[in-house]
Structure 1
Amino acid sequence: MALAVSLARNLDLEPLIEQFSRSAGDYVPHDSLSFRHDVAGSEQTILIGAAGRHACSYQLTVEDTSLGTLSLTRCRRFDETELATLEQLLGIIVYPLRNALLYYRAQHEAATDRLTGLANRSVFGDALAREISRAQRYGSSLALLMVDLDNLKLINDRHGHSAGDRALQQVAQALRTSLRDSDQVFRYAGDEFAVLLIGGEGSAAVEVAERLRTQVAELSPEPVPVRPTLSIGVSSLRTDDDTQALFERADTALYAAKRAGRNCVCSTD
C-alpha cells in the first residue's frame, strides 16, 4: 500500500503524525488528531487541529511494546464503518511509528544531560542562534543568563560527589520550575547553566535572575548538607548581536558576579 511505503520513509515523529492525519482524513474525517507518548518519564503530546466533542482513542502497541495513545475527535460521532477503517489504518502506522519513536528518543537522549534532565551544551548553540534570529526578525526581546553554582567544589570536597550531584539536581529543578514554559534552561558545563529568557530584557531579566538566585539560596539544606548558591550574569540582546557577542557579554557579567563575592547578580545592560 502506498501509504505504508510513504510512512516508512519518514523518521521524524511530528511530520509522521501529520502525514497520517492527512491520509486518515481521506477515509475518516476528523477535526483533530493527538498522539501522547512518554519520553524519559515525561508525557509528550503532538496535537493537530482543534478538539471536537466526540472522540475515539487507541493504545498503540507493537510486539508487546507500548507506543502511546492516538486519539481522533470531531463534532459528530464516528460510525462503526469508520472505526473499522481507522483500525486498519492504525495497523499500517505502528511499525513506522515505532521506528520514529526510537529515532526521536535517541535524539532526545543525545541532547539531554542525564544527571539533571536539562538540555545540554550540544544543543545550546543552536537554540541561542535560533532565538536570536527569531527575536531580530520579529523585533522581540531576548536575554541570556549564565549561571554558576558557586560552591559545588566545596560540597564535593566536604560531602562527596553524590552530594554534589544532588546539589546540581536541586538547582536544575529550581531553575526549571521557576521559569515560564517559553524560557529555556541548559546545563552548559559542570557547574554552569544557561537560561534563555524569551521576551526578557533589561531590568525585567535582572529581576528574574535575582528571583532565581534568592530561591536557590533559600532551598532546604536537605538532601544536600550545604545550601547551593548562584552567581548569575545577565545580558540582553542588542540590535547587531550575534551568538558570540551576546554570550560573551553574559559570560563577562557572570565573572563580574563571581569577583563581586559570588551569590549575586551582575548585568551588562
Structure 2
Amino acid sequence: MRDMTMVTNAQKANGTGNIPLGAPQQDHELSIRVRLSQALQMSLDPTEVVSLFFHQIQPLVHISGVIFKSASGKDDSRIGRESLHHCDYRLTTDEGYLGEIIFSRSKRFIEAELMKIEQLLGALVYPLRNAIRYQSAMRLALLDPLTLVGNRAALNNSLKRELQLANRQHQQLSLLMIDVDYFKKINDDYGHHRGDLILCEIAKTIQSVCRSTDGIFRYGGEEFVVLLNNTNSLGAEIIAERIRERISDTHILHNSTVIHTTVSIGIATHKANGNSEIEELFERADKALYAAKQSGRNRTFNSDYSDKN
C-alpha cells in the first residue's frame, strides 16, 4: 500500500495537493486536470466527490472501480466495479489520517499509470477532507450531545421521511415514546451527573435492543422516541417490552448504592394505507405513555387498545 501524505499550506486552502502534477504533455491532459480540480469543488458529499474523481480521470487512467474506506468508517464509498488488479493508497494530511482509497481494474497497472494516479490524488485529498468534515458536522448537528442518539431536529426529519416511505410502500410504522420513571427523584437524590449517566445507559440499552434500521432519539429531558419502520402494532409491543425489561435490569452504582431505574412506554402505530399525520401519531403515543404511567409505571401501553375502547 502506498502512503499519500499531504502537508497543508496556504495553497491547499483552495483544494490543491502538494504532489506536483508535472508539465502536461498535451493541452488535452491539462484541460482534464483543470476540469477535475473544478469538479471536485462542486460537492460536499464524500461519495459524490470520489465518484467525480473516478469519472473525471478515466481519459488519463482507465479504472474499473474505486473504493474509499474512511478512517471514521462512516463515509465509505464504492464506485464502479471491483476487479482483480488494484493499487491502494493511504490518504493522510498533517491533520490526520483520512482513509484508504483502492483503485482496481482487470489489467495490471504499470508504473507510469501509478505515478499519474499519485499526481491526480493531489487534487482529491483536500476536497475529500472538506466533504468528510462537512458530513461529520452535519451528523453532530443532529445528535444529542449527552446520549449521542438523534436529537429533536433529527427526529422531525426522520419522522417525515419514514411516514412518507411507509405510505409509499404501504407499510406500517410504529412509534415508541419512552419516559424514565421518577427521574426527578433520581436527580434530587443522586445529583444531575448520575442522572446524566443513567440517561446515557438507557440510550445504550435502547440501541442494543433495536435494529440498525430503527431510529432512536432523545425527545427532551428524560424522554426518548424510537421509530420502528415496517413494524406493526404487535411487533412494536414486543420490542417495547424488551426495552422495558432490559432497562429494568440495568443498575448504576453510586457510592456503593445501586440505583435502580425503570421506564414507561407508549406505543402508536401508523397503519398501512392509513391517514394518520405526525401530530396524530405523537398524540396517540403520548396518551398511551400517560396510561402506562397512570397504571403503575414500569410498563408498556399500546394505543391500539384504547382506540378499540
Question: TM above 0.5, one fold?
Answer: yes
> Conserved in 2, the CA contact under 8 Å of 1:150 and 1:230?
yes
Which residue, 259, 263, 267 being the options, matches 2:294?
Answer: 259
> 2:179, 2:98 → 1: CA distance?
39
Deviation, 1:53, is 4.2
> 2:55, 2:137 → 1: CA distance?
27
> 2:107, 2:245 → 1: CA distance?
52
Distance 1:242 1:48, change over 3 A: farther
Mapped pair 1:207 → 2:238: yes
Deviation, 1:173, is 0.5
Larger Cα Rg: Structure 1 or Structure 2? 2
> Conserved in 2, the CA contact under 8 Å of 1:21 and 1:33?
no
> What does residue 16 of structure 1 align with?
49
> What does residue 242 of structure 1 align with?
277
Matched-pair identity in %:
36
Distance 1:182 1:73, change over 3 A: farther
Query: Deviations 1:109-146 (Å, cap 9, x if unpaired)?
Result: 11111111111111111100100101110112211111
> What does residue 91 of structure 1 align with?
122
Which residue, 191, 208, 222 being the options, matches 1:191?
Answer: 222
Which residue identity does 2:168 align to in structure 1?
R
**Bigger shift: residues 49-58 or 104-113:** 49-58
> Conserved in 1, the CA contact under 8 Å of 2:174 and 2:268?
yes
Mapped pair 1:137 → 2:142: no
Deviation, 1:68, is 2.1
> What does residue 91 of structure 2 align with?
60
Q: Please, what TM-score do these two structures have when normalized by structure 2?
A: 0.79
Mapped pair 1:71 → 2:106: no
> 1:63, 1:145 → 2: CA distance?
45
Which residue identity does 1:29 align to in structure 2?
I
> 1:113, 1:212 → 2: CA distance?
20
Query: Deviations 1:190-217 (Å, cap 9, x if unpaired)?
Result: 1011111111111111011001100110
Number of residues paired by the alignment?
266
> What does residue 33 of structure 1 align with?
67
Distance 1:61 1:235, change over 3 A: same
Which residue identity does 1:105 align to in structure 2?
S
> Conserved in 1, the CA contact under 8 Å of 2:63 and 2:104?
no
> 2:167, 2:125 → 1: CA distance?
41
> Conserved in 2, the CA contact under 8 Å of 1:171 and 1:228?
no
> What does residue 137 of structure 2 align with?
106
Q: Please, what TM-score do these two structures have when normalized by structure 1?
A: 0.90
> 2:69, 2:58 → 1: CA distance?
15
Deviation, 1:250, is 1.3
> What does residue 172 of structure 1 align with?
203
Q: CA RMSD in A?
A: 2.0
Deviation, 1:162, is 1.1
